[in-house]
Amino acid sequence: MVNLRFIGRQISGAKRQCTVFVLSVALSMITLVSLGSFRESVESSLLRDAQSLHAADIIVHAHAAIPAALQAEIASLAGRGEIKSARFWEFYSVVQKVKGDASLLCNLKVVEPGYPFYGKVLLASGRPFQEVLTQGSLIVDQTVLDRLRIALGDALKVGNATLTVRDVLLQEPDRPVNFFALGPRMFVAAADQGSLGLIGHGSRVDHVTLIKVRDPEKLDKTAARLRAASNESRLRVETYKNAGSRVKRFFDNLLFFLNLSGIFTLLLSGFGIQSTLFALLKEQERTIAVMKALGARSRFIIGHFLGVTLILGFTGTLAGLFGSFALQRFLPTLFSGLIPAQVTLKVSAPAVAQGMLIGLLVVLLFTALPLYRLKEVKPRAIFGKEETGTLWNRSTWVIAGAGTLFFLTMVLIRLRDLKTGLYFMLALVLLVLVSYLLAGLTLRLLRGREPKNLQLRQALKGLFRPHNATLSIIVTLSAALAVIFAITLVEKNLDASFIEAFPPGAPNVFLIDIQPGQKDDLARILGPGASYYPIVRGTVSAVNETLIDPEKERRSRGDNLGREFNLTYRGHLLADERIVSGSALFRRDWPDLQVSVLDTVVKMHKMEVGDTITFRVQGIPMTARISSVRTRTSGGLTPFFYFVFPETVLSGAPHTVFGAARVDKDRISALQNRIVSLFPNVSVIDLTETVTVFGRIMARLSAIVRFFTSFSIVAGVLIVVSSVFATRYARIQEAVYFTMLGARRRFVFAVFAAENLLLGVVSGVIALLISQVGSLIICRKALGMSYRPYLVESLLLVLATTLLVVLVGLAVSVPILRQKPVAFLREQADE
């Protein structure tokens, strides 16, 4: 028999706790549905159509012209009508206005007819791409027009050719976002390739051949055939199914991180749900005892309170859905610049369904313990203080175990990575454990302290008020804050490392694709102080004679040995390098071919001094013994090389030259113009501008990360609120007693404020300690960069969070301060 009136009265009699419960559920729903919907929107708009994302069925990618054998195979297949092919070349070049000095580094794409096989290149005029991109034409990104102050119909010097701007690019199917690029996009017809004069031997050009197969069933077979036709490790033959996409990798990584943050928020919301329900049921303990005295079974009571939680959970779910829809209006602004405008962010039905299911499981999981403990309320609780048994009994362990398993499963499903999932869970457990130990130690130190100030003394005693749950509040708050502080500290260190760390005198201009014969002329223009580094392209095929699997390497999250490298040769260390292993850069007493590696390489693959690495340079295998391991002493944007050979080894190989110079900022533009006029093949990269662009993207990413992690703060705030409610009776009692004994209202206010201040400071300081250690480990070990503690900023973070805890605690305590003593005393007398 369900007593709906009882359920309704329980809810109406505990409006505050029910509101916090509903908000906690709503928060978890917003997190789940927003992230799930974002993933759906991005995948359906950008990533699901993998063929459009690659514009082809098979993609052959190399940094040089593809070998003749492979070309022949492609021609043969095309001749039989089994495939269609179209090539494009992608590279950077500085383009120049015909009239005037202005120039701009652009990301050129020279395409053959047929591109793209899938997806559409959208132009502002609405005309078909192939119709507009004829010989002598340019299709450019709007930024080119804006930066160079030109209009449609104007001409630009591109390499040795002069081409006319015909249209503006809106969308490119195989590059839906362009924030990876150092310059705006420019399309050139393949018919103009020769006249550009920019694609030569050793030029940094991506040579891509797109292939469309006539029979989709033969996709893999055709790809295998093409792979077999070329034995080059520097060449990749991939299908749209397995090809890596930078865009996809970026969004996968972003979603990966956001999912981590979402799971953390879910966990905190769960604790909010649990602590609110504990508080609500504690207040009903007498009622439950009376019901049991009248013959109600535990099953009946638990069932009705389960009804209460389900109704509240459902209300929270609806509120969360409403919140998710409202959030969708804001998300486009948050993600602007990172996703194309045509991607519509909307709440997706599968995300809603998944969110509701997970939300229900979270509610059931986190309410299991408080509901189960109703069994332990005995009828004799009517007559006095009935202390329930110890919290950590068998049922608690079982429920805690089920909860851990649930979260682990969720982590694995959402992150799709077992190893990372386990590390994440381990890190969470460690975080909570360390918070618990530090919080316990701090409280032990505080207990028994007798400050001279009466308000502070009372506040301190208030922390140890019976049933105050001070320890669990501090643990939850400090764990949540530690994550947020750590994200902030790592971000600041990243900023410093990549954007602000320009050592005085460091180069701010890079010049790429300098041909050896141009070096002396360029040196005359740049003057002394510029540095030049010979570049030979090569790949790694084996370490200690064990072959490298390039496909497997490319699947790893960070940098890997599966790509092509810029090899160089010199006989000295750079100014910001030092040797960490080995006696010298190269050993005079070794007869072997030698190579010095950067410590970053050692992180990619286990190797040490004395091991051998086999390279393929221009198709020729070359095995060298590792003579030393170097490390960089600065993390800024200065040139560095993973592999350095002695001069005698590679100086005879065809190479280009990379230049780095320090130029007065206001001279960079003029220098760029001059160099592009004289040496159209040389690209001049203004690092300060690159850093600005990169900084903008980092700022945008930070904003996104901070937005989603702020949900964790909200969850933490709800926990503070629920804890105040949990101790509401005790606080009212104290406020009434103090008032009765002659304390003014401001005294009582000051005591509550001081108590919240202590909570905030202790939580903040513990969070800071944990985050400093965590950030240090992340920066040094995971990111390989130096670490600064940013003490001032850290203290400001502690201050801000303390203020938040004080304000929230006081806001919730204000009704308590307004309580008239007589009303409370009368209630007590009636009891």
Partner 1 sequence: MTILQTRGVTKNYRIGNREIKVLDSISLEVAQGEFLVVKGESGSGKSTLLTILSGLDRPDEGRVFIEDLDITDLNEDALAPLRNATFGFVFQSFHLVPSLNALENVMFPAELKGDAGARAKAEALLDRVGLSERMSNFPHQLSGGEKQRCAICRALINDPRIIFADEPTGNLDSVNGAAILQLLLELQRERGTTLLLVTHSPEIAQSADRVVTLKDGRIVTGQRHG
Selected range binding partner 1 among 39-47, 218-226, 493-501, 819-827, rule: CB under 8 A: 819-827
385 binds partner 1 (CB under 8 A): yes
Please, what is the minimum distance in Å from the beta carbon of residue 692 to partner 1? 57
Q: How far apart (Å, rounded) are the C-alpha atoms in residues 296 and 48?
A: 56
Q: Between residues 502 and 729, which has the closer beta carbon with respect to partner 1? A: 729
Please, what is the minimum distance in Å from the beta carbon of residue 470 to partner 1? 11
383 binds partner 1 (CB under 8 A): no
User: Is residue 593 classed as helix, strand or coil in its secondary structure?
Assistant: coil
| Residue 195 burial class via C-beta count within 10 angstroms: exposed 0-12, middle 13-18, buried 19 and up | middle
Token pair listed for 325: 């829809």
741 binds partner 1 (CB under 8 A): yes
Q: Between residues 743 and 765, which has the closer beta carbon with respect to partner 1? A: 743
Q: Between residues 620 and 741, which has the closer beta carbon with respect to partner 1? A: 741
SS3 content of the chain, % helix, strand, coil (to 5): 55, 15, 25
Please, what is the minimum distance in Å from the beta carbon of residue 386 to partner 1? 12
The residue type of 89 is: W
Q: Among residues 341, 744, 777, 795, which is the contact residue for partner 1, using CB under 8 A?
A: 744
Please name the residues in contact with 282: beta carbons below 8 A apart, sequence gap of 6 or more.
467, 726
745 binds partner 1 (CB under 8 A): yes
388 binds partner 1 (CB under 8 A): no
Instruction: Please compute Rg for the chain using Cα positions.
Output: 33
What angle (nearest 5°) sits at the alpha carbon of residue 517, between those of residues 512 and 523?
65
Please, what is the minimum distance in Å from the beta carbon of residue 446 to partner 1? 13
Q: What is the 3-state secondary structure (H, E, C) of 91-108?
A: EEEEEEECCCCCEEEEEE
Q: How far apart (Å, rounded) are the C-alpha atoms in residues 640 and 644?
A: 10
Q: Between residues 238 and 755, which has the closer beta carbon with respect to partner 1? A: 755
Task: Please state, in angstroms and as integers, the Cα–Cα distance from residue 126 to each residue in 118, 121, 163, following that order.
Answer: 17, 10, 21
742 binds partner 1 (CB under 8 A): yes
Please, what is the minimum distance in Å from the beta carbon of residue 820 to partner 1? 8
Please, what is the minimum distance in Å from the beta carbon of residue 831 to partner 1? 8
Nearest alpha carbon to residue 200 among 642, 509, 518, 510: 518
Site string for partner 1, 661-700 (x = CB under 8 A): ----------------------------------------
Number of residues that bind partner 1 (CB under 8 A): 30
* Diameter of the chain measured on Cα atoms: 101
Q: Between residues 221 and 744, which has the closer beta carbon with respect to partner 1? A: 744
Q: How far apart (Å, rounded) are the C-alpha atoms in residues 289 and 292?
A: 5
Q: How far apart (Å, rounded) are the C-alpha atoms in residues 112 and 86?
A: 6
Please, what is the minimum distance in Å from the beta carbon of residue 825 to partner 1? 7
**Partner residues linked to 336 by β-bridges:** 339
Q: Give the number of other CB atoms < 10 A from CB of residue 350.
A: 11
Site string for partner 1, 701-740 (x = CB under 8 A): -----------------------------x--xx-xxxxx
- Tracing tokens 């001409």 back to the chain, one arrives at 155
828 binds partner 1 (CB under 8 A): yes
Q: Is 549:541 a contact under the CB 8 Å cutoff?
A: no
Please, what is the minimum distance in Å from the beta carbon of residue 396 to partner 1? 24
**Partner residues linked to 569 by β-bridges:** 645
End-to-end alpha carbon distance in the chain: 30
Please, what is the minimum distance in Å from the beta carbon of residue 467 to partner 1? 10
Q: Between residues 464 and 590, which has the closer beta carbon with respect to partner 1? A: 464
Please, what is the minimum distance in Å from the beta carbon of residue 292 to partner 1? 23
* Interacting residues with partner 1 between 416 and 475 (CB under 8 A): 454, 461-462, 464-466
Q: Between residues 462 and 716, which has the closer beta carbon with respect to partner 1? A: 462
Q: Between residues 10 and 739, which has the closer beta carbon with respect to partner 1? A: 739
Task: Please state, in angstroms and as integers, the Cα–Cα distance from residue 84 to each residue in 58, 75, 117, 192, 211, following that order.
Answer: 10, 9, 9, 21, 6
826 binds partner 1 (CB under 8 A): yes
Q: Between residues 28 and 813, which has the closer beta carbon with respect to partner 1? A: 813
Q: Between residues 466 and 527, which has the closer beta carbon with respect to partner 1? A: 466
Token pair listed for 114: 């047929």
User: Is residue 183 classed as helix, strand or coil in its secondary structure?
Assistant: coil
Task: Please state, in angstroms and as integers, the Cα–Cα distance from residue 23 to each residue in 304, 672, 700, following that order.
Answer: 21, 57, 28
Q: Between residues 40 and 734, which has the closer beta carbon with respect to partner 1? A: 734
* Interacting residues with partner 1 between 143 and 172 (CB under 8 A): none
Token pair listed for 505: 């005198």
Q: Between residues 397 and 464, which has the closer beta carbon with respect to partner 1? A: 464
Selected range binding partner 1 among 109-117, 179-187, 628-636, 820-828, rule: CB under 8 A: 820-828
Q: Between residues 416 and 826, which has the closer beta carbon with respect to partner 1? A: 826
Q: Is 31:265 a contact under the CB 8 Å cutoff?
A: yes
Q: Which residues bind partner 1 (CB under 8 A)?
A: 385, 454, 461-462, 464-466, 730, 733-734, 736-747, 820-822, 825-826, 828-829, 831
